[in-house]
């Protein structure tokens, strides 16, 4: 028996999840398919985690349009989803006549696009950011730049969508699509009236199952350093160099939780699954000195790499297919894809999907409850919580001060965690200085208990990443 849906979305990154979230406000039957075992596993889970102001994209591009609109939508979106958004601001720092000349182009674009800005001398900027490199002579200040935790936004959007009837299938790789009359048949078992391709680095493969793809994915890899909690002692704003043809350059980016990221590089790769760090880290070290000095590498606790689903058309590719009705492309969502995601989701849903149906707004829409953040609670609130459930009084992660109760909470939800990384993404055990050295075994134990599995069935991350591979002695 085939499963029937009005809309099927392939890919549960931030764009696919926000499309699902917006559709969940209608009475349509919606399914999201994701080949990994959690949402936000691709580009969404490994990027610069910032909402760009819109000063940089080329005029007339979809990147420019959706960056500007998405930037203005993000504060309200995060308020609705009850996740963190910090309007931290950014500095674009120049230090030579050539760089100052390129900075003038950005200043003019800010004027044309109504992007708030201020121009500072090097001396003025260094009063705010004393770790700016000595060479910095002129700075473009962009106060509408924000920071978020991308996977937190994605998880929240999908959780709320599921609370309102959207279905999510994880570990469900799309291997076959056929067009049957007015419907799409997916993996011989799922029928959809409308199919939305949000498959990131695999978008061209999905399209190729129906016809030759009009674009080719050319993935770019970006690597990053992560520094321990610095709480503004090193950098208060996002610091950009003046952009080049290769991209925005190596940044210093404070995070919502008080860490600092340095990166990325930008190198093409032939492998759409290549997320290993390598020589790019040395490139970052060599480039960051153009904007920052006294980088505290002794505070480095983690490195990572992420892929950007760049395509050969140099812009986002967002449209209904020219040959196949009801097949919608959401491809090439590289930087500023995070910033653009709310506006992309709005237009895909409101202009490309809803007009195809006679639908109505859902009554009694359910909003999610935010994750329990004990670090944001008063002592009185914490004591009340522990009185109701003593597991909130048991500290599991010492670095991030995460309790057993918080971990159990993020497992037992819609779109709940099923892996150690899934728990880490939702409430941060393992994100701190020891990177899970103390808390990871306890997180594994809690996952096994809550999911009713054996410890050797619990994964660190993707399929095959079992933490325990054998028992030292037979179970009694």
The residue among 465, 458, 1 whose CA lies nearest residue 191 is 1
pLDDT, residue 476, reads 41
DSSP alpha helix (H) spans, 193-294:
203-208, 280-288
**pLDDT tens digits in sequence order for the chain, 476 residues long:** 689 999 999 999 999 999 999 999 999 999 999 999 999 999 999 999 999 999 999 999 999 999 999 999 999 999 999 999 999 999 999 999 999 999 999 999 999 999 999 999 999 999 999 999 999 999 999 999 999 999 999 999 999 999 999 999 999 999 999 998 899 999 999 999 999 999 999 999 999 999 999 999 999 999 999 999 988 899 999 999 999 876 789 999 999 999 999 999 999 988 888 888 888 999 999 999 999 999 999 999 999 999 999 999 999 999 999 999 999 999 999 999 999 999 999 999 999 999 999 988 988 999 999 999 999 999 999 999 999 999 999 999 999 999 999 999 999 999 999 999 999 999 999 999 999 999 999 999 999 999 999 999 999 999 999 999 877 766 54
Instruction: Look at the pTM and tell me if it is higher than 0.85.
Output: yes
- The highest-level CATH class for domain 374-457 is mainly alpha
Q: 317-350 burial, b for 16+ CB within 10 Å, e for fewer?
A: bbebbeeeebbbbbbbbbbbbbbbbbbbbbbbbe
Q: Give the chain's length.
A: 476
Domain definitions of the chain by residue range: 1-84+147-216+309-370, 90-143+218-306, 374-457
Map tokens 């099927």 to a residue. 8
The secondary structure of residue 257, as a DSSP letter, is: T
Contact in structure between 468 and 456 (CB atoms under 8 Å):
yes
Residues tagged active-site: 52
What is the C-alpha to C-alpha distance for residues 149 and 72, in angstroms, rounded to an integer? 17
Strands 220-227 and 238-241: unpaired
Q: How far is CA 58 from the centre of its chain?
A: 23
Apex 337 CA angle, 269 and 27, nearest 5: 125
What is the C-alpha to C-alpha distance for residues 139 and 137, in angstroms, rounded to an integer? 7
Strands 251-254 and 177-180: unpaired
pLDDT, residue 285, reads 97
**Alpha-carbon distance values, 424 to 181, 402, 436 (Å):** 44, 10, 9
Strands 177-180 and 327-331: unpaired
Q: Which two tokens stand for residue 343?
A: 């506006």
What is the C-alpha to C-alpha distance for residues 305 and 347, in angstroms, rounded to an integer? 30
DSSP alpha helix (H) spans, 142-263:
150-163, 203-208
HSE-CB at 135 with a 13 A cutoff on CA atoms is: 14
Report whether CATH 3.40.50.720 matches the domain 90-143+218-306: no
Alpha-carbon torsion angle 240, 245, 247, 250, nearest 10: -50
What is the C-alpha to C-alpha distance for residues 320 and 302, in angstroms, rounded to an integer? 40
Q: Which two tokens stand for residue 77?
A: 């979106």
Q: Where are the beta strands (DSSP E) in 321-371?
A: 327-331
The residue among 25, 74, 79, 68 whose CA lies nearest residue 350 is 25
SS3 of residue 324 by DSSP = coil
Contact in structure between 448 and 468 (CB atoms under 8 Å):
no
Map tokens 């952009």 to a residue. 243
Strands 138-142 and 90-94: antiparallel
Apex 78 CA angle, 61 and 433, nearest 5: 100
- The highest-level CATH class for domain 1-84+147-216+309-370 is alpha beta
């Amino acid at each position: 028996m085939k499963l029937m849906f009005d809309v099927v979305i392939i890919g549960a990154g931030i764009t696919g999840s926000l499309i699902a979230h917006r559709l969940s406000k209608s009475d349509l039957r919606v399914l999201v398919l994701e080949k990994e075992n959690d949402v936000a596993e691709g580009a969404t889970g490994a990027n610069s985690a910032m909402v760009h102001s819109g000063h940089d994209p080329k005029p007339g591009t979809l990147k420019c349009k959706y960056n500007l609109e998405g930037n203005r939508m993000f504060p309200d979106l995060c308020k609705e989803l009850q996740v963190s958004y910090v309007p931290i601001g950014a500095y674009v720092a120049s230090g030579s006549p050539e760089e100052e000349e390129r900075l003038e182009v950005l200043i003019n674009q800010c004027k044309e696009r109504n992007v708030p800005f201020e121009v500072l001398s090097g001396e003025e900027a260094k009063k705010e950011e004393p770790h700016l490199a000595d060479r910095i002579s002129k700075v473009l200040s962009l106060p509408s730049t924000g920071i978020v935790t991308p996977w937190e936004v994605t998880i929240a959007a999908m959780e709320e969508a599921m609370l309102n009837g959207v279905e999510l299938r994880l570990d469900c790789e799309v291997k076959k699509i056929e067009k049957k009359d007015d419907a799409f048949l997916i993996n011989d078992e799922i029928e959809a009236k409308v199919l939305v391709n949000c498959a990131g680095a695999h978008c061209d493969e999905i399209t190729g199952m129906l016809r030759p793809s009009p674009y080719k994915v050319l993935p770019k890899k970006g690597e990053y350093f992560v520094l321990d909690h610095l709480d503004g002692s090193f950098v208060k704003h996002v610091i950009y160099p003046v952009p080049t043809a290769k991209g925005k350059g190596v940044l210093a980016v404070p995070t919502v939780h008080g860490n600092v990221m340095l990166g990325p590089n930008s190198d093409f790769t032939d492998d759409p699954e290549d997320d290993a760090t390598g020589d790019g880290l040395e490139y970052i070290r060599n480039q960051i000195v153009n904007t920052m000095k006294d980088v505290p590498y002794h505070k480095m606790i983690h490195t990572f790499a992420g892929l950007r689903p760049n395509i050969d058309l140099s812009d986002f590719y967002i449209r209904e297919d020219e040959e196949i009705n009801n097949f919608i492309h959401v491809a090439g969502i590289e930087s500023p894809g995070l910033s653009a995601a709310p506006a992309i989701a709005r237009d895909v849903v409101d202009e490309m999907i809803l007009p195809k149906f006679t639908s109505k707004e859902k009554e009694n829409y359910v909003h999610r409850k935010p994750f329990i953040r004990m670090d944001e609670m008063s002592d009185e609130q914490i004591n009340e919580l522990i009185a109701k459930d003593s597991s909130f009084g048991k500290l599991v992660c010492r670095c991030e001060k995460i309790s057993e109760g918080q971990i159990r909470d993020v497992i037992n939800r819609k779109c709940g965690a099923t892996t150690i990384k899934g728990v880490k993404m939702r409430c941060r055990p393992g994100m701190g200085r020891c990177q899970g050295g103390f808390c990871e075994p306890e997180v594994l134990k809690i996952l096994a208990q809550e999911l009713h599995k054996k410890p050797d069935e619990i994964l660190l991350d993707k399929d095959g990443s079992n933490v325990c591979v054998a028992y030292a002695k037979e179970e009694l």
